[in-house]
Amino acid sequence: MNAPPEIKFFSGFDPETICETYGSPVYVYDAAVILRQLETFRAAFAELPHRILYAAKALSPVGVLRLLKEEGAGLDAVSVQEIELGLRAGFAPRDILFTPSFPSDADLDLAVELGARINIDNFGALEKFSSRHGDVPCCLRLKPAVIAEDDAARWYEESKFGISAEELERAAKLVEAGDLRVEGLHVHSSSVILDADVFAAAAKVLFEAAERFPALEYLDFGGGIKVPHREEDQVVNLAELAGRLAPAYRDFTRSCGREPELWFEPGRFLVSEAGILLARVTGLKKNGDELLAGVDTGFNHLLRPRLYGAWHEITNFSNPGGKPIEYRIVGQLCEPDDLAVERTLPEIREGDLLGFHNAGAYGASMASNYNSRPRPAEVLLQNGEARLIRRRETLDDLLGTQPGA
């Protein structure tokens, strides 16, 4: 009889030991994978002057932010709370770019007070910024009119982010009249963009607009670089993207006599593959022709399958050599909360430990307390140690915001 296949957990750690220590469910992140992805990104753009700002919205524990800060990354923050987390992690204020969507006046004022770089998203916000903070440098987020044959063109057209081409002329006149210093231009990209040509088209818009702003220090291409969740997934080839950007950048520098840095804001690319959600099987149930496996988590902890139909590979760590059987994996919520459907896995038994892969990005960061369930602990594997970076919530945490409860 053949021995069951050996499954290596992140950095050699045993998943059962992790759960015995920190409970189930639990999010686990491998620092080595984060650093590998960071180096991969840097290597792709090594021939261009560039900087990486980690998109904190993907995964925001201070322990993860500190890891990336120590490796020389900057921070993309979409809320003043993310700015404050970044400062707590040790980022210098000017290493943080505040890229909000429709911020309140109070948020914008606080971001300026905290010293972060400011990204302006629309003409109305630019008018207010000019009157309230005219002496503070800013970045302008643009909305490129990109022609493409897939979802990318529609995404740019329908996107709420950025100053449109029609508004750019007005914005440039306001900048000149108010003597504003525009230090950067930015474009918000999406993971629906799978073609380097589309990124190159967006870059062309930035390079053309950059000629109007002589004080530019950087051109920020945003994020949107995804990782494959299964073998057939199409993703942007970083080397190809760098190859497309390089000649356009050199043409720009020759014509303008300036060499602004190229900034990128990867989030998912850096942390998605580094994360796994471990969950315990609490029961099995026959449902017509289906076999349901219930686990001690749900879309309150991993929302992406429900919200986006996202695919997460699943490993049965307890029975890797079991007979292949098709399951529907469901959670504990009082809702239809399928985590996977028609998924063939080694035989699942009550008490088995399952791992949901590619859960580092937009997993814990999108978790909630739906059904009054606490959010799980988060653990970082680094330098041969498993370190708790966010403890499991308790009922006291849920009651702490309810006066008189």
Number of H helices, E strands in the chain: 13, 18
How far apart, in whole angstroms, are the C-alpha atoms of residue 267 and residue 362? 9
- What is the number of alpha carbons within 13 Å of residue 238 lying toward its C-beta? 21
Q: Is 334 a catalytic residue?
A: yes
Two tokens at 38? 């960071």
How far apart, in whole angstroms, are the C-alpha atoms of residue 34 and residue 173? 43
225 neighbors 268 (Cβ within 8 angstroms): yes
Active-site residue (options: 19, 138, 139, 334):
334
Helix (H, G, I), strand (E, B) or coil at 256: helix
Q: Is the dihedral of CA 95, 257, 254, 198 positive or negative?
A: positive
Q: Is the dihedral of CA 145, 146, 149, 152 positive or negative?
A: negative
Q: What is the DSSP string of 107-167?
A: HHHHHHHHT-EEEE-SHHHHHHHHHHHTTS-EEEEEE-----SSHHHHHHHH---SEEHHH
Q: Is 160 left (phi over 0), alpha (psi -120 to 50) or beta?
A: alpha
Please tell me what DSSP assigns to residue 78: S
Residues known to be catalytic: 334
